[in-house]
A and B are shown apart, each in its own frame.
Chain A
Amino acid sequence: MQSELLNMSCKELRDGIAAGRIKSAAATEAVFGAIEKYEPVIGAYISTFEGRALAKANEVDAKIAAGEPVGELAGVPVAVKDVMCTTFGVTTCASRILENFHSPYNATVVEKLLAADAVIVGKTNMDEFAMGSSTENSGLKETVNPWDTTRVPGGSSGGSAAAVAGRMCFAALGSDTGGSIRQPASFCGVVGLKPTYGRVSRFGLVAYGSSLDQIGPVTRSVADCALMMNVIAGRDPADSTSVDEKNAPVCDYLEKLDEPVDKLKVAIVPQFSAGADEPVQKALTCALDVYKKLGAEIIEVDMPHLDYAIAAYYIVATAEASSNLARYDGVHYGHRTENAGDYVEVYSKSRAEGFGKEVKRRIMLGTYALSSGYYDAYYLKALKVRNLIRGDFAGAFEKCDCVMMPVSPTTAFKIGEKIDDPLTMYLSDIYTISANLAGVPAISIPCGFDDSELPIGLQILAPAFAEDRLLRIARMFESNTDWHRKKPTIVE
């Protein structure tokens, strides 16, 4: 019964709870049972809120018993990445500099989850300030891949992906600046969507690269992803960069989810995708065959600037980060050094003590790219390359409904394998970062396994604000394959 309950989709669970067949309290207890069992191995959570979660679950159950209306995620236990501010618990960004930070406000998405009657069970581990591709840069703890505990879960939303795959919640929120939702989703065999820039409010999302950051769902199915989007999408007056309903209306992403896209035209970028490992390429080919069988036309497009995406991304993202992270200085909140001689040392020592190596590296890279004498060569140049990349997408989307490519060149790698070589780690982001640079939505869905039984993800990219079609395209694949039903052995 327990595992049956834990393997339910959000939608099934929500419907069961809303109909009174299942108690949210039972589902929440089941989740905390799983946490007790798997968390010591997986390490997905930075904090959990058992008492709070059960209280919320009981509240939802009572509302239903009383016949009162409930929200769209009524009683569903979910997790949020610890990069989103909550008034309960701490908001750490997996950094020692914020280890004891208590936010006085909730992120807009957290408010939306609460308003939808979701049960927030905990906050998940991540690379410090979302900087990384393996969750190894967490300053607070280690998270491992539920499919192989010697391997990384991906990152930076590694905790969210591991928690969803490990049945320690039914869905989670992650954030994606250069692939941080899609890559861990692919490594952990779950679904991860990075919405269009501006689709989901960033208010309360601790900023890394503000022009690239976007919150999105990590789920076990496309339908659950659509359900989560129904809850979190939409304009927020507190976020100037969230888009107006008038210009890009939010729709009910579940409504037409099961309608296949007619005359689907899928574009691929063969030379670009050829850079991935063989099992990944093979899985992509098989996935394309599935679409062909469903009547899709596959065309080849040229996107010549994608090869430059990593260079442009690591300048733009780090430049913004160097400024976004300037506020962690030990003056108004967060860690303060005990060894400051003067006020300048409060800054330089608190930051030196509070930040991990990758964060320091990126702050320095970004500071350098913005500094006098280097701005034009690096930052400005990167913004121009960014425009070329956006142009590549605009050109491609004139010819197709979506572009498909790998999520990551490899499957989950060994813990420690790349941690000392930052450039190699950066290069592994090759397939995910262009969606952030262009601002378009992209999803990762399970599409196979390699010889070591490690999951592989298929990435589908769509035009800005076409999440509804993107989800339908993903759903077409999911309805005709079983990859998403596979479970890591640890939870069998």
Chain B
Amino acid sequence: MAAKIDQTQVKKVAKLSRLDLTETEAAEFTGQLSAILEYMEKMNELDTTNVQPLAHCLPISNVFREDAVKESLGTEKTLANAPQRDGEFFKVPKILDEI
């Protein structure tokens, strides 16, 4: 039986996850993820045609807060953990593409 996921897919997923993988890691993950996904096939033994997906365990809705202002951190605290800053900004290498 073919592996559930091949190295090309693993590399694609790694890219989507913003994770640089070495070739060794890619090979290792391919084997491991394949085995895990193979195990996940187990779920298909269950007929879930009429089952609702359950994203939240809690049967609650409409939890709000009042539109009231709370104090912000301020620029210095906001940037306190920044790996790099430029004045009052976070600094990153030049962004060339647009979203």
Contacts and interface: CB of A to CB of B under 8 A. Distances in A.
A383 B58 contact: no
Contacts of A383: 53-55
A312 interface: yes
A355 B92 CA distance: 20
Interface of A: 100-102, 104, 197-198, 211, 237, 240-241, 243-244, 247, 305, 307-308, 310-312, 314-315, 322, 326, 329-336, 340-349, 351-352, 355, 357, 360-361, 363-365, 367-368, 371, 378, 380-388, 390, 422-423, 426, 437-439, 464
Contacts of A343: 92-95
Contacts of B32: 361, 422-423
B19 A363 contact: yes
A368 B13 contact: yes
Contacts of A348: 15, 18-20
Nearest to B79: A332
Interface of B: 5, 9-10, 13-21, 25, 29, 32-33, 35-37, 39-40, 42-46, 48, 51-58, 60, 63, 65, 73, 77, 80-84, 90, 92-96
B81 A342 contact: no
Contacts of B45: 308
B46 A104 contact: no
Contact of A388 (B15, B25, B46, B60): B46
Given A342-B93, A382-B43, A384-B48, A360 B19 contact: yes
B42 to A, nearest CB: 5
Given A333-B82, A348-B19, A383-B54, A104 B93 contact: no
A241 B81 contact: no
B94 to A, nearest CB: 7
Given A211-B55, A365-B33, A384-B52, A314 B19 contact: no
9 contacts: A335-B83, A343-B93, A352-B20, A385-B51, A387-B53, A388-B46, A388-B48, A390-B57, A423-B39
Contacts of B33: 361, 364-365, 368
A313 to B, nearest CB: 10
Contacts of A344: 18
A208 to B, nearest CB: 16
A173 B73 CA distance: 27
A243 B63 CA distance: 10
Nearest to B96: A342
Given A311-B40, A422-B32, A243 B58 contact: yes
A347 B36 CA distance: 26
Contacts of A341: 93
Contacts of A340: 93
The CB with the most chain B CB atoms within 10 A, among A311, A331, A381, A426, is that of A311
Nearest to A341: B93
A386 B82 CA distance: 39
Nearest to B97: A344
Contacts of A247: 60
Contacts of A368: 5, 9, 13, 33, 37
